[in-house]
Structure 1
Amino acid sequence: MTAGKKLLGDLMGRKSKVSMSGPEPDAVVLAELKALRERVPKLTGSLVASSDGLLVAHDLPPQIEPSRMAALAASHLSLSHRLATTAHGGGFHEVVVNGTGGHVVIYAAGWTSLTVLAGPEVNVGRLHLESRPVARAIADHLTAITNDPGKDRATKTH
């Protein structure tokens, strides 16, 4: 991380677990997102964001601004987690938003979240069946990188 980026992060009052060392998203995470879109009909895009709303990687259509969507997803995830904890005292896994134009599903994934966008005609059961393992794989991959930051991302597989 450059001194300027560290200073900017400190000034903003946040220290993210996501490396800001380069503009390239994590190749493994991006490959997971693209493979998910290929497997699920009517899936329109997806993204991974840190718990503080910083974009990790995305596979979104051009009309959706990735950084804003990452911030919205992190906010919604945080509120949903608080709601689940208050109501039931337990952990939180996912939240589904059904709108007239489609679905937004946010899956907790370690210190990140996987947000999936799909059209209104998507099979939500299939969406969950395909997305939940991807959220777990992404969480495992990013946790391994965080725990071993010297590890070369290009050679990391799962």
Structure 2
Amino acid sequence: MSGPEPNTQVVMELKALRDRVPQLIGSLVASTDGLLIAHDLPAHIEPAGMAALTAAQLSLSHRLATTANGGGFHEVVVHGEGGDVVIYAVGWTASLTVLTGPGANVGRLHLESRPAARTIAELLAALTGAADPAAANLQTSNPK
């Protein structure tokens, strides 16, 4: 494979996402079991701890969506006083978590983050040696 390694490409995608979205303060990709894959977080946020919190929220959100609607999980938005935390499913095995400052345009965030989640799913599929995301059981949510 020519070009940067897949993990380096994931970090590059996270940095590009920060460049495209005003008030995005950080992001990370974690496995569904809470292991950190890549991050672009500010120094005051501990990446491994945030990955573990993301996995816990992802598990609860998936369970809630399945119980309430019988369908799969796509994303969850947590609005806080100091900003928002949005977790997007990156296939069945990972998640993309983005952190914003107060007053961020969540619509714009979705428009930029959903395609980024699909790209990251493809990069992770390449990392696992799968020919495509479906082969690695990595199917991302459909944009709405």
Could you tell me how far 1:141 is from its partner in structure 2?
1.3
What CA distance in whole angstroms lies between the structure 2 residues aligned with 1:25 and 1:53?
A: 19
- Percent identical residues: 72
**Corresponding position: 1:90 with 2:71:** yes
Aligned length, in residue pairs? 126
Q: How does 1:72-87 map to 2 (within 5 A)?
A: 72-87=53-68
What CA distance in whole angstroms lies between the structure 1 residues aligned with 2:38 and 2:127?
A: 15
AA partner of residue 103 (structure 1): D
Q: Please say which structure displays the higher CA radius of gyration.
A: 1
1:35 maps to 16
Normalization by structure 2: what TM-score? 0.84
Q: Is the 8 A contact 1:48 1:113 kept in 2?
A: yes
Could you tell me how far 1:121 is from its partner in structure 2?
1.0
What CA distance in whole angstroms lies between the structure 2 residues aligned with 1:79 and 1:44?
A: 24
Q: Is the 8 A contact 2:36 2:48 kept in 1?
A: yes
Q: Which runs of 5+ in 2 are unaligned?
A: 131-144
Could you tell me how far 1:25 is from its partner in structure 2?
8.4
Q: Which runs of 5+ in 1 are unaligned?
A: 1-23, 149-158
What CA distance in whole angstroms lies between the structure 2 residues aligned with 1:125 and 1:84?
A: 21
Q: How does 1:34-113 map to 2 (within 5 A)?
A: 34-110=15-91, 111-113=93-95
**Would you identify which runs of 4 or more consecutive aligned residues in structure 1 move more than 2 Å?**
none
